[in-house]
Structure 1
Amino acid sequence: MTTKHRARRMFELLEPICLVTFMAEECNEELAALGHRTYWDGYFASRAAPLGRVPADVVHAAFYSFADGEVARHIPSAWETIPPEASVAARERGSAAALRRILGAGTAGSPGLRRAADLTTKAATSAPTAGRVMYAGMRSLAVPDDPVARLWHSATMLREHRADGHIAALVGERIGGTEAHVLDALARGIHPPESFGRIHHLPKERLAAVMEGLRERGLVDADGRFTDAGRATKERVEALTDELAAPPYDALSAAELDELVAVLQPLTATLEAAGSR
């Protein structure tokens, strides 16, 4: 398995673990119980919490993919009465509870899950933090003792590490956050790309300007579909993202990596069947 293929395979195996944070009700319920009024208040407050009480502009820069003004609707107001530390702790509790429910008590308490948590943590705590803002933020948090929470925490560290690298790849190709969603929509076969769920709510004028900019660069055609240059750009971004996501797994021996894949596969299959809900 090549370095890039290894990183892609690990992303496929770990992503369903991370997705419970956004898909399952337990996390939303924990954040709402703190007093967060909406899903997005809880999302921004808990995901940005490892950065500390930074301004909205800093969160906007670190997250990269949100349109201008979206972060500022939630940060710093979401922290005015709820400390960031409380939000990130609630996210961990809810995510771990969702994993326990979906996987079942037997699997959640199994030696296989504990081993998955151990190996994932070994990888997640090994990579350099330079240039990895969100990953460094997650690395600053204590790693939970509970194996289920530790597996979620470490998978999320690796997700943020990958996301930091993805942003670097996008910046290198001069692809902005909203533009990235357009290219992602096209890669998923969604047309028109403006209908993609992550951007469809944006003002029509904003979306029209983004599409026009992509046309001027020759990345989409008059009908809003990929040109050859646009598809090649998307493929370069994804290839570099995989390459930049590989360093954490250098901490694992070949045997450990094979073992991690083996113990994660049944966990991932269960989570995928449930839609991480």
Structure 2
Amino acid sequence: MAPLARRMFELLEPICLVTFLADECNQELAALGHRTYWDGYFASRAAPLGRVPAQVVHAAFYSFADGEVARHIPGAWQTIAPEASVAARERGSTASLRRILGEELDGSPGLVRAADLTTQAASSAPTAGRVMYAGMRTLPVPGEPVARLWHAATMLREHRCDGHIAALVGARIGGTEAHVLDALARGIHPPESFGRLHHLPKEKLEAVMGGLRERGLVDAEGRFTDAGRQTKQRIEALTDELAAPPYECLTPAELDELIAELEPITARLVAAGSQ
């Protein structure tokens, strides 16, 4: 099932990415009163957890540097209810999908079927140990097909992210270290120039790179060692394995149908860069 989980990630991720890359979601969140992109990001993504403190959001999201969450949580909720941020996120993301997919795919029988099957998978997995996924499971499933497809894809994304964090913790890779490994896997060098890293203080980045060197995961030039590359590959393989359970509820025929219906949707989104 692990190869299937990787294929489903490739098909569903472009659906989720409109939330972060397209304009409509940010516009909806700004209209609520969120002052910055990151205020809206943290407020809307963490909202299913309830009004938890920054330390809990930091733990659940895992990949942000110390202090980054606290700059936005709980401040972003002080005048805007979490429920309002969640609703704005859904409205904006759905609007982006409709615009990019156009009349040909928006509400087509194939999209409706993809939304139904994706929702079936997204609603079937155990929630134990899956904090962000469990939070998403508490939200009502939209009735409108495009919104339902986005919601189900996002549930599966959070399920996968929870498993990815478990794989990172098991490999003793911290959140900032994970960004270094991800940058190197993408062919970005120096890894400190990666978008999720370049804004961090120089001393912080030096400490992270020094720790990876001491463990033999990167070399003196900041590139993968064999051990580092193997560690990254093990993390990704385990992430795929842990992401497989939601799809076990679908028959082989349903999985084939889901992939076939998602392919044209994903192709349109990839062509547009999900924005």
Give the TM-score category using the shorter length.
Answer: over 0.9
Residue in structure 2 matching 1:172, options 158, 170, 173: 170
Distance in 1 between residues matched to 2:132 and 2:242, nearest whole Å: 15
Which residue does 1:162 correspond to in 2?
160
TM-score of the pair, normalised by structure 1? 0.99
Distance in 2 between residues matched to 1:268 and 1:81, nearest whole Å: 37
Gaps of 5+ in 2: none
Deviations 1:96-145 (A, max 9, x none): 00000000023112000000000000000000000000000000000000
The percent identity for this pair of structures is 83
| 1:69 corresponds to 2:67 | yes
Which residue does 1:128 correspond to in 2?
126
Letter in 2 for 1:55: P
Which residue does 2:259 correspond to in 1?
261
Distance in 2 between residues matched to 1:107 and 1:9, nearest whole Å: 21
Distance in 2 between residues matched to 1:97 and 1:33, nearest whole Å: 15
> Which contiguous aligned blocks of 4+ residues in structure 1 show a shift greater than 3 angstroms?
none
Which residue does 1:94 correspond to in 2?
92
1:180 positional shift = 0.1
Which residue does 1:112 correspond to in 2?
110
Which residue does 2:143 correspond to in 1?
145
Which residue does 1:183 correspond to in 2?
181
Which residue does 1:274 correspond to in 2?
272
Which residue does 2:248 correspond to in 1?
250
Residue in structure 1 matching 2:40, options 33, 39, 42: 42
Does the residue aligned with 1:104 lie in a helix, a strand or coil?
helix
Q: CA RMSD in A?
A: 0.4
Which residue does 2:13 correspond to in 1?
15
Distance in 2 between residues matched to 1:224 and 1:274, nearest whole Å: 33
Which residue does 2:28 correspond to in 1?
30
Letter in 1 for 2:8: M
Deviations 1:162-218 (A, max 9, x none): 000000000000000000000000000100000001110000000000000000000
Letter in 2 for 1:260: L
Does the residue aligned with 1:129 lie in a helix, a strand or coil?
coil
Distance in 2 between residues matched to 1:109 and 1:77, nearest whole Å: 38
Does the residue aligned with 1:8 lie in a helix, a strand or coil?
helix
Q: How many residues align?
A: 275
1:67 positional shift = 0.1
Residues 186-225 of structure 1 mapped to structure 2, 5 A cutoff: 186-225=184-223
TM-score of the pair, normalised by structure 2? 1.00
